[in-house]
Homo-oligomer: A and B are copies of this chain.
Amino acid sequence: MNSKTAELLARRERLLGPNVPTFYENPVHLVRGEGVWLWDADGRRYLDCYNNVPHVGHGHPRVVEAIARQSAILNTHTRYLHEGILDYAERLTGKLGHDLRQIIMVCTGSEANDIALRMAQAVTGKTGYIATDNTYHGNTTAVAHLSTRRPPIGGWPSNIRRVPAPDALTPLGGSIAAQPQAFADNVARAIAELEAAGHGFAGLMLCPIFANEGIVPGVAPGFLDPTVEVIRKAGGLILCDEVQPGFGRVGANWWGHEWLGFVPDVVTMGKPMGNGHPVAAVVARPDVMGAFREAFGYFNTFGGNPVACAAAMAVLDVIEDEDLIANARKMGVSTLEGLHGIDHPLIHDARGAGLFFGIELARDGKPAPDAAGRVVERMREEGILMGRGGREQHILKIRPPMVFDQSHADLLISTLSRVLAEIPA
């Protein structure tokens, strides 16, 4: 760690307080970004294989220009009329089916999920929620209750049930094949518990690619069918968190739920939507939106303002004009082929959904977080930024901007092979 890095860390501790999350033992001090590349203060270049927020690439000139142009013209709120939000709403909802055609624009995925929970309340009149026990849906008080692993002050809220997440090393029901039904059975049990506790069942919130759960093998089209049947029977809503899979990340489709093949009642979106500008949204059917707007007053000062809509519109333009979903599909296949070609005893499994990859490291069938941590640190030293996730932080997480091409994949794979070769089995 150089002295500048140490100085920045000391300033962070002083100004931001303790326990503010940072990546890497030797954190990266970034100063510039372009496409899939990031540069640190020493002029060192990094291949960004982690960040999904700069969806169409760091500093994409069309998004930058849209933000700059609209900021200079007008930036107010939605209590005045403006065409920006309507043009965007029309274009975005045109990419969703199933009568999902009304939108609330907000600033963060957390705000979007916080609303989605209330939509389920408004429709069902119930207050019980289900999520997996290895997920993350955001940081507001209400949404954090779905995700936290620390008991909240005042105790765990009794209206939330966390069902075991699908898993690769210890699959629910004992096998990858048994997992879909076992997951559904657990959801059914949780619904019964919520009903017995008097909360009733409002909805299940989930990420359709189980991104935080580690992109689980066997989560493929049809996986959720038994669960959907259970939820429909119980009268609850399916709240689909598309913050990570959405906007073509999965390659096969615009949305994760399309790929998995189920019909959500509410869809939330965030991170990639504005390429880094704070934009997020909730999309729902008119009946769901109407119930929410009837039960709750809601206004978001910055949500859907003209600049946010200009940024988000430019992102759609770039996705389409640069054919980035096809690129995610193509590069998803070829990168995964490359990852499968890496031979190392620690690799339990390498899988992907479009441009989102998980490489599960295990030793004797047990998670190997030490090895995953070492790989991530060594990759950073070698100029490639990636992360890790999964219950034990043992799954390498690779999720580059959508402009990732074959030369980037080659560099990733050759470097990863080399780094893994150093790691003892």
Binds B, one of A101-109, A318-326, A330-338: A101-109
A154 to B122, CA, bound (A): 10
Give A257-298 as 1s and 0s: 1 = Cβ < 8 Å from B's Cβ atoms: 000000000000011000111100000001001101111111
B30, A300: Cβ atoms closer than 8 Å:
no
A276, B32: Cβ atoms closer than 8 Å:
no
A134 to B32, CA, bound (A): 46
Q: Does A38 belong to the interface (CB within 8 Å)? A: yes
A350 to B308, CA, bound (A): 37
Interface residues, chain A, with chain B CB atoms under 8 Å away? 5, 8-9, 11-12, 14-23, 27-33, 38, 51, 53-54, 58-59, 61, 63-64, 67-68, 71-83, 85-86, 89-90, 93, 101-104, 107-111, 114, 117-118, 121-122, 125-127, 139-142, 144, 148, 150, 153-154, 159, 199, 270-271, 275-278, 286, 289-290, 292-302, 305, 307-308
A141, B139: Cβ atoms closer than 8 Å:
no
A53, B77: Cβ atoms closer than 8 Å:
yes
A141 interface neighbour in B64, B103, B117, B295, Cβ under 8 Å: B117
A17, B58: Cβ atoms closer than 8 Å:
no
A74, B32: Cβ atoms closer than 8 Å:
yes
Given A67-B71, A107-B108, A276-B302: A81 and B18 within 8 A (CB)? no
A154, B127: Cβ atoms closer than 8 Å:
yes
B107, A302: Cβ atoms closer than 8 Å:
yes
Complex interface: chain B residues within 8 A of A107 (CB):
107-108, 111, 278, 302
Sample 19 A-B pairs with CB under 8 A, ordered by A number: A15-B86, A15-B93, A16-B89, A17-B286, A17-B290, A21-B79, A23-B80, A30-B74, A30-B81, A31-B82, A33-B73, A51-B77, A53-B77, A107-B108, A107-B302, A108-B111, A111-B139, A141-B142, A153-B295
